[in-house]
Structure 1
């Protein structure tokens, strides 16, 4: 059942101080240019509220000034202080009812706009916030941050900086100020086709010998479990692809030597790749090790090669074309487990609604989802499917 939401106000929050003229143009990096064209959506729930967040948002946008700007021609951000969209709304239900909802479509009205929709008819704001007040006095803060300029680590840094300012902490030390130098590491290009580059870096034949030498992480095991079930849905199709590729987003900051700080802003990520054939029985440990090997291939040596490659964009286009032709089946995953999502305190305590264990959100077609929800191997590992 959809929630009844009444929008009370809409406005634009601009940086509290103007961006200096010499910072008005920020070049996008190549990895920004190759990033997906949607927003990173996130919702924080709190059981009560004390303050409105507009003032602290303006203060935070002064530090994260590109987020208040406008992207120009996929090359740069015009840091023109256009501002962030800010909406206040009243929700006609209790907070506890919203927290129980696990269908993203039911929670989407708590966001300022559709993170996957087009921007026709409105300015393409890089940040949107919706401050939702429930009947019980609880609050849901829905946010959308453009993935064209920020990855999950950058979104997390921005939100936590905003929360610190909301608590009256003021600006952080200069050492924690965001760094906008990604274009120096990965210079942009003039023409960018959509897509990303995949290399076959881990395969089932090359991985069997290392099963006892590498212990996968919890996230890799959960990803392998869902990947295995995903291949079950593929085999039910009339003409499945022969190969299934699992891709996992990898943060480059701690893979480089020396590592980059978490407040190094932008899309500093690449894709760890694992591949196997669709047919035949799959051992969960082998699949988890495949994913782990693909992730471990993203290291400092890989980043150095990435900086020197001239054919990165052309390879991206070729891989995209193979996916469109159905030659490969693709299972994509990412994890927020290492980001302090449940530490975001705006001044009224930490978010509520945290669940025990790893919560996995899976997006499939309705037909494939029906197969997944009745897969006995999957159900033997989960506490609930909703």
Structure 2
């Protein structure tokens, strides 16, 4: 399946960034050195104006340029040595490409898809970031022979977490969809106007901390990607199982995220024990802090992490995994609500979960939940996405969880070495709930 790139250019903000906003200082939250990958797929019937089909590539480029005016750090460059974003308006990378096959043909392969192929829909290397010329935002728009469209994005984690990315996508999609309706466009954009304000005035810049290890994301080309799909009905069955026992320790209704995390994590622990690996196991989960103290559309990175540990000597069932996860997440939210009330005093506590991972003797698994984020409904004028994906991020023992198309199920994008992946696929508890 061939994809050819026809145009590659830098798109600048439609309005120059004021000199007063030139330097965007990064804080301790902005230490992750990787691009966040996201690909949205559409069965697109290209928009028409007065019965004439418009040039979709140009329309998206214009609306992207307008969006960058509000999200101006994404058009700048990260100065790694000085630890700030130079909002220089150098521009975002914008690539136009054509696939020599149909989107429907590609989507039919989902269960047998070679996941390395997903990289072809992305505009940039996920881990190429931090050099002087590296763009903070890259976009690749690929058209298919049947009129379908894929929009692949790489967005620097030095500026954006998933909440920021969704605000950006919603803003861009709204401009593209409502280009001919100025009144509705103004009303809709109010919902997705970003609050661009660095946390550096509240928390130390990274150069004030010993964070040389925090910005190093481990990459391993030997780690493969597999997608495990769980239907909503199977997740409900799993929920009933952990709650039905009259002696159950579960005192809450577990979310589907907690359930699938616990199911996969238990399988990881069981596999390690079966292979004679007696390390403790640590689950590392990013937690959005906006729900606690920050505005919904606060842009940048604003998250901490909840760590949950299982000792090698513990023989525990799925209920305990679920309960430990819930307790850890709740304690983290309460703890950081207090910390953030006086960040100038307590900022060092914010680093604790990250330093614990770096210094841990345990085997670490990083789970990230992208469930209930708005990119599932991002409409550029062609309706909602029919699918969304990442690519192989090649980060050891990483799991990205996303809603399925129906919304009540889930896809878990799991990165493991080949030996452990084969064992995970054969795990009877995984097979019992996974969509065949």
Give yes or no for TM over 0.5.
yes
The answer to whether residue 134 in structure 2 is matched with residue 138 in structure 1 is no
Q: Which structure's residues are more often strand, by fraction?
A: 2
Query: How far apart are the structure 1 equivalents of 2:93 and 2:148?
Result: 22
Alignment counterpart, residue 346 of structure 2, candidates 309, 312, 325: 309
The answer to whether residue 214 in structure 2 is matched with residue 195 in structure 1 is yes
The answer to whether residue 185 in structure 2 is matched with residue 177 in structure 1 is no
Partner of 2:385: 351
Instruction: Give SS of 1:364's match.
Output: strand
Partner of 1:363: 415
How far apart are residue 304 of structure 1 and its match?
Answer: 3.6
Instruction: Give SS of 2:98's match.
Output: strand
Residues 128-158 of structure 1, C-alpha deviations (whole Å, 9 max, x = no match): 0000011211111101101111101110110
User: Does the C-alpha gap of structure 1 residues 360 and 175 become closer, same or farther in structure 2, counting only changes over 3 Å?
Assistant: closer
Alignment counterpart, residue 255 of structure 1, candidates 292, 295, 298: 292
The correspondence of residues 207-222 of structure 1 with structure 2, limited to 5 A, is: 211-222=249-260
The correspondence of residues 1-386 of structure 1 with structure 2, limited to 5 A, is: 3-32=1-30, 34=31, 36-48=32-44, 49-50=46-47, 51-52=56-57, 53-72=60-79, 73=81, 75-99=83-107, 100-101=109-110, 102-117=113-128, 123-167=133-177, 168=179, 170=185, 172=188, 176-181=192-197, 182-190=199-207, 191=209, 192-195=211-214, 211-241=249-279, 243-256=280-293, 260-279=294-313, 281-299=315-333, 301-305=335-339, 307=343, 308-309=345-346, 311-312=348-349, 319-323=356-360, 327-353=361-387, 355-356=405-406, 357-384=409-436
Query: How far apart are the structure 1 equivalents of 2:316 and 2:350?
Result: 33
Which structure 1 segments of 5+ residues have no match? 197-208
Whether the 8 Å CA contact 1:14–1:61 is kept in 2: the answer is yes
Query: How far apart are the structure 1 equivalents of 2:314 and 2:411?
Result: 28
Instruction: Give SS of 2:171's match.
Output: helix
Residues 321-373 of structure 1, C-alpha deviations (whole Å, 9 max, x = no match): 534xxx21111111111211211000111111353411111110111100000
User: Does the C-alpha gap of structure 1 residues 310 and 63 become closer, same or farther in structure 2, counting only changes over 3 Å?
Assistant: closer
TM-score (norm 1): 0.86
Instruction: Give SS of 1:297's match.
Output: helix
Whether the 8 Å CA contact 1:195–1:320 is kept in 2: the answer is no
How far apart are residue 285 of structure 1 and its match?
Answer: 1.8
User: Does the C-alpha gap of structure 1 residues 301 and 210 become closer, same or farther in structure 2, counting only changes over 3 Å?
Assistant: farther
Instruction: Give SS of 2:163's match.
Output: helix
Residues 210-229 of structure 1, C-alpha deviations (whole Å, 9 max, x = no match): 93323321110011001011
Query: How far apart are the structure 2 equivalents of 1:161 and 1:317?
Result: 32
Compute the RMSD of aligned alpha carbons: 2.4
Which structure 2 segments of 5+ residues have no match? 48-55, 216-246, 388-403
TM-score (norm 2): 0.77
Paired residues, number: 360
Partner of 1:204: none
How far apart are residue 174 of structure 1 and its match?
Answer: 5.3
User: Does the C-alpha gap of structure 1 residues 74 and 233 become closer, same or farther in structure 2, counting only changes over 3 Å?
Assistant: farther
User: Does the C-alpha gap of structure 1 residues 130 and 173 become closer, same or farther in structure 2, counting only changes over 3 Å?
Assistant: closer
Whether the 8 Å CA contact 1:19–1:62 is kept in 2: the answer is yes
